[in-house]
Amino acid sequence: MRIRCPICGDRDLREFTYKGDAVALNRPGPEAAAQAWDDYLHLRRNPAGATRELWYHGGGCGAWIVVTRDTVTHEILGAVLAEEAEA
Amino acid sequence: MADLIARSPCMGLLPLEQGGVSVTELDPGPMTLVAPYKGQAAALSKAMKVAHGVGFPAANTTETGKGVEAAWFGRDQALLIGAVPDAALADHAALSDQGDAWAVVRVAGEGAEDVLARLIPVDLRDSAFPPGRSIRTQIGHMAGAVTRLPDGAVRLMVFRSMAGTLVHDLDRAMTHCAARGTG
Amino acid sequence: MRIAGKGLIDRDTPVHFRFDGVAHQGFAGDTLASALLAQGVRLMGRSFKYHRPRGVLTAGSEEPNALVTVGQGAHADPNVRATVQEIYDGLEAHPQNAWPSLRYDLLSLNDLAAPFLSAGFYYKTFMWPRAFWEKLYEPVIRRAAGLGALSGQPDPDAYEKAYAFCDLLVIGAGPAGLMAALTAAEAGADVILCDEDTRSGGRLLAEDEEVDGQPGHAWAQALTDRLRAMPNVRVMRRTTVTGVYDQGTYGALERVGQHLPHRASLPRACFWRIVAKRAVLASGAIERPVAFPNNDRPGIMTAGAVRAYLNRWGVAPGRRVVVFGNNDDAHRTARDLVAAGVHVAALVDSRHEAQASDAYPVHAGAVLCNTQGRLGLESVTIRTAKGEERIAADTLAMSGGWNPSLHLTCHMNGRPVWRDDIAAFVPKPDMVPGLIPAGACHGAFSTHACLEEGRAAALRALSELGMTAKDVPLAEAEDAPVSLRPLWQVLGKGRAWLDFQNDVTAKDVALAAQENFCSVEHMKRYTTQGMAPDQGKNSNVAALAVLADATGRSIPETGTTTFRPPYTPVAIAAMGAGAEGKGFAPERKTTSHAATVERGAPMIEAGLWYRPSYFPDPGESHWRQSCDREVRMVRESVGICDVSTLGKIDVQGPDAGRFLDLVYTNMMSTVKPGRVRYGLMLREDGHVMDDGTAARLSEGQYLITTTTAAAGQVMAHLDFVAQGLRPDLDVRLASVTEQWAQFAVAGPQSRALLDGLLDAPLDPEAWPFMACGPVKVMGIAARLFRISFSGEHAYEIAVPARYGDSLFRLLVARAEALGGGPYGMEALNVLRIEKGFITHAEIHGRTTAFDIGMDRMVSAKKDCIGKVMADRPGLKGPEREQLVGLRPVGESKEMTAGAHLFEPGTEPVRVNAQGYVTSVGFSPTLGTMLALGFLRNGRARHGERVKLKDHLRQVETLCEVCDPVFFDPDGGRLRG
């Protein structure tokens, strides 16, 4: 598997580590309801199709990126820097 | 009173030579990580140009000047090599001394690319990786930096503590490549 | 026997080798199979289950029968296909799965027991009594059934792993692949051409045909030489592309040293990861056998294999050959044999319209229905309209048509489609993104069609890559149409083999259907058809056809099983090359490593780092003696310890303080320059991630430390917070762990030691506990931190790493002059347990700030990572297991980490568990064992007694619960 890092270009999977769904970017405020925190921390969709997920290019430039990937075909539909990703 | 004695990271480990490929330790001089603050990239690049003759490099490249080099070193980071950073740079960027943090080696020779193809998961052929390219990637299991030098040789950098492993991995790859050559 | 003047072998270079203990001679260019056949050796192996005598069936990597072990002892390589193994001087090959010998294999008794060993036998025959299964049936069956054995020793041979990149990967160097490579290379594309054979040409090497007016093999050689001379082409021979992976990544196995006498430095194989923008699959086709009774005797081969041995290796596989087929290749075979002077006793063609010949008898509309011969074929029985007839023959060449080698196209879950005209599955377009099939693997069987498809595939790839193609003319070649009538099995008395490698018969497949394993996937698992190392290459389609027949469905309705990587077996040693021994993980060594080893300190691993366990003094014979001495040394004078392995992160920028407030539980923005604060980091789920210190070096610069083990995790976490959660904050992070060599100088004499070392003595007023600042050591700029992990008056001094070795030696010498010296991890651990300081033994991922008694460090004045979730019900309160100290009070003084805690008087079982022990050590300071652990509601239970029970090590100790800070609870020594 290869991921196109927005900074480094097309790179081998082994340079990256996986965190999970990109929902982790939408951190609720400290006053948010318990349900919102529960959703943020624990609830994840498991789609057959496109999913947005966080990868860390720790073996490369050190960027956190949001990769859109099809869970059925493994096709990678795009990758953007986490700092520029829409939450 | 005695003096503190400096030791280089690869002292006692290098040089190596096998099958026409050589590995030697480089002394890069001062090395400083330069990371521009928000909105300061252009101003930093200008200050670097004025003080050191090299601008802030584009991603995956290195800029070489007279005895000074600015090698891209990761997201919003460059490594200023060969000069102590001018004080003016601190107005625009976080500076971190890295002059002792890296084992820096030069891999040269006809079969160097074949040796590196055994350790580095990136296309390092001349066409894809000409002089001026400088990337962050993995070298074996180690996070490192790889640069094509102006003379065509390749510079590798890994954490200082891993110098022994770098030399071990290179030595093994060189042994295998050399053995193929005589097959 | 050899046929004079024929073949591509080098008759001037004889090669000597041994098989089954017997010396043989072949020629350079021979495989083990061709050389043995030339010597008249037909028996090469025993079958998997029934130990039937077997000879070579094919001439390629799909070979199911002729599996041998090459080499001896730890170097032995089992299950090597004799059809792939090139001979070399000194080659030693051994037969497998036979005892005591290949000719007299006692386990061939299994063959007589065949009625009990049919499909699914292990689900039926050996069910009862149940207890016999694991102890008796399974081991016996496993021993009797099998392939080659592993040596059981570590593999001492060298293997490689490597990466390659290209625009176009061409898989297979037959006519289609060569044409694709040439077309792409002429257009300037970077091309890698892989072929598993030793030379390119593919099927052209095995046939007697012309391309472009010259022999096919010569045309292929000339074209390969031309490609090899181009700078943008890399020709990789002996390289099998074994798997297709996501985003254009291909796995390939190169045989590097397996065809040469052993040399320690020469890798046996190299596992390549090839990244290609586009690929052309030109993997050819595999001829399929026909399932007729007793179709497995040595001497029975595919017709294509017979032509290969004849034309490529100049070997006549026998003196009297019968050819059997359902297509025109049978006739091609007979013609080639006759032309080479080999007697063709009969051509048996299942088609009624088969052409007669002057050169050999043709039986049209006839089939093979049985064979005879114990260790090799002696005669065959044919069934014609007139009845059955026996014909003497030592070789049978059979052809049931060809199956395209489309396996790689299925590696990403695609399914092929059935083509009636060639009675075979072919790949659909785009089953793998970027992989274009061409030639025989795509169902194009004439040489002309292969050349044309190869060129077309390259043109498509070039156009997709935006490259301009040059005009590459097609060579003249044969263009015969496919003429075939499907024939899958011949019914009759006796077993008709489908899967030679796993000993599966047509009857087994029918039985599976009869027992309602009608799905092809169920049939596969019930009969094990297709589950041997050849992965069903020789048998799959025929087995499907038999299943289709038995279930009354068509073949496309029946479908195929899934082909998965690897296409041919890959040694694990090749896939894992370089990752054993010192290549397993990087070794991180501190600057004091050499000086430490010189002192005889045993090193232990801490993450990837190597740290000293203890520094033995002369006369000390047990680690406890050294450890106790080192602890006393720190408590009474001064000790030196390398703490460079702790993670150090430079945090700079206008928002550095705000950023640290978010990632630490406590307030870091209020730390004054020149001061250090201890800090705790939580995970977002409210559990403790790590602890460390934050030193404010200047207004805009902090230096934070992490534990050794969590340094990487913390860096990734901080990067995530900075980039993903708060990209608005202006903060810059840099790991500076490797820049600094840092040493703890701990003990009452620490200031005295430093005063003699630093360029200016320390002013006690300016250097209170938790102060930090720049100092100079012999003119070298250094950093000093007055922090303590020992509970003593202590400092940590950091210098640029190049001076680490020198400074460590100096510090140790000065410490020794003051009655101290270096100390290792054992003493460090005891010192911190005495003080109740935590490590990852305590913050192990399931404990909260509340649990470790640091709830008050979670600032109420601000948000921080993990704060909200740490307040969840159940994460605070008396039901939690809380950090306590434990000391033995009963007869037993033994304490072990990992032991569990119980109320005295309760049974030590899980439901009664009250907590557990995390750290233990003997305190020479207090003269007793001490432990840290977690006990339910522990903070309210100081003074109570609990039972420590270690079920694994049989320890039971009565303990008193106490405060985790055993020593100097008010911290007077630390601050003084």
- Mutation target vs C (from A55, A56, A72; most C CBs, 10 A cutoff): A56
The tokens for C684 are: 């977002």
Decide: helix, strand or coil at residue C456.
helix
Residue range C877-976 forms a domain whose CATH class is mainly beta
Subunits with 3+ Cβ pairs within 8 Å of B are A, C
**Distance, CA of C507 to CA of C497 (rounded, Å):** 9
**Å between B46 CA and nearest CA of chain C:** 20
Tokens at C324, concatenated: 């059997």
pLDDT digits (tens, 9 = 90+) for B114-172: 999 999 999 999 889 999 999 999 999 999 999 999 999 999 999 999 999 999 999 99
Mean pLDDT, residues C382-402 = 96
Tokens of B132: 């001026």
What is the pLDDT averaged over residues C875-884?
Answer: 96
Average pLDDT, chain C: 94
Supply C476's token pair.
């003249």
Q: Which CATH superfamily is domain C291-399 in?
A: FAD/NAD(P)-binding domain (3.50.50.60)
Q: Is C715 on the interface with B (CB under 8 A)?
A: no
Q: How confident is the model at residue C843 (pLDDT cuts 50, 70, 90)?
A: very high
Contact, B51 vs B61, CB < 8 A? Answer: no
Hey, is the C-beta of A12 within 8 angstroms of any chain C C-beta?
A: yes
For chain B, what are the domain ranges? 16-27+100-181, 31-97
Of B4, B7, B77, the CB nearest to C778: B4
- Collect all residues of chain B within an 8 Å Cβ-Cβ radius of residue A15: 121, 137-138
Domain positions in chain C:
1-153, 159-286+404-464, 291-399, 494-553, 588-645+739-832, 647-735, 877-976
Partner residue opposite C653 with nearest CB, options B5, B94, B180: B94
- Which among C742, C784, C741 has a CA at the least distance from the CA of C761? C784
Query: Distance between alpha carbon C900 and the CA centroid of its chain, in Å?
Result: 38
CATH architecture of C647-735: 2-Layer Sandwich (3.30)
CB-based burial, C708-742: b 16+ in 10 Å, e otherwise:
bbbbbbbbbbbbbbbbbbbbebbbbbbbbbbbbbb
pLDDT recorded at residue C149? 84
Is B146:B139 a contact under the CB 8 Å cutoff? yes
Q: Which of residues 619-658 of C touch B (CB under 8 A)?
A: 650, 652-654
Q: What are phi and psi of A80, to 5 degrees?
A: -130, 160
Residue C673 CA from chain centroid, whole number: 51
- pLDDT > 70 fraction of chain C, expressed in percent and rounded: 97
Is C588 in contact with B168 (Cβ distance < 8 A)? no
CB contact under 8 A, A82 and C246: no
Which of C476, C460, C434 lies closest to C187 in space, CA to CA?
C460
Whether the CA torsion C877, C881, C882, C886 is positive or negative: it is positive
For residue C742, the distance in angstroms to the closest alpha carbon of chain B comes to 13
Mean predicted confidence (pLDDT) in C34-59: 93
Domain C159-286+404-464 has CATH 3.40.50.2000: no
Cβ neighbours of B113 (radius 10 Å): 18
Which of B60, B77, B143 is the closest to A8 by Cβ?
B60
Q: B31-63: per-residue pLDDT in tens? A: 999 999 999 999 999 999 999 999 999 999 999
Angle at B40 between CA B36 and CA B41, to 5 degrees: 65
CATH 3.20.190.10 is right for the domain spanning C1-153: no
Q: What's the rounded mean pLDDT across residues A42-67?
A: 96
Contact B60 A9 (CB under 8 A): yes
Which pLDDT does position C126 carry in this prediction? Answer: 60
Three-state SS sequence of C545-601: HHHHHHHCCCHHHHCCCCCCCCCCCCCHHHHCCCCCHHHCCCCEECCCHHHHHHCCC
Distance CA C393, CA C381 (A): 10
pLDDT the model gives residue C44: 93
CATH topology agreement for domains C159-286+404-464 and C291-399: yes
- Phi/psi for C218 (5° steps) reads -70, -40
Q: Which of residues 218-277 of C touch B (CB under 8 A)?
A: 256-257, 260, 263, 265-267, 273, 275
- Average pLDDT (A8-30) is 96
- Encode pLDDT of C270-329 as tens digits: 999 999 999 999 999 999 999 999 999 999 999 999 999 999 999 999 999 999 999 999
pLDDT in tens, C722-766: 999 999 999 999 999 999 999 999 999 999 999 999 999 999 999
pLDDT at C359 over 90: yes
Nearest-neighbour CA in chain B from A2: distance (Å) = 11
- Do residue B97 and residue C590 have CB atoms under 8 angstroms apart? no
CA distance B167 to B117: 15
pLDDT number for residue C127? 60
> Domain C588-645+739-832 belongs to what architecture?
2-Layer Sandwich (3.30)
**Superfamily name with CATH number, domain B16-27+100-181:** Probable tRNA modification gtpase trme; domain 1 (3.30.1360.120)
Q: What is the CATH topology of the domain spanning C494-553?
A: Arc Repressor Mutant, subunit A (1.10.10)
**pLDDT value at position B183?**
45
Residue B81 near residue B157, CB atoms below 8 Å: no
Q: Is B117 on the interface with A (CB under 8 A)?
A: no
Q: Does the CB of C88 have a partner CB in chain A at under 8 Å?
A: no
Of the pLDDT bands very low, low, confident and very high (cuts 50, 70, 90), residue C100 is confident
Q: How far off is chain B from A16, nearest CA to CA, in Å?
A: 10
Structural domains in chain A, sorted by start: 2-84 (3.30.2270.10)
pLDDT of C787 > 90? The answer is: yes
Q: Is the Cβ–Cβ distance between A24 and A55 less than 8 Å?
A: no
Residues of C (708-727) whose Cβ lies below 8 Å from A? 712, 715-716, 719-720, 723-725, 727
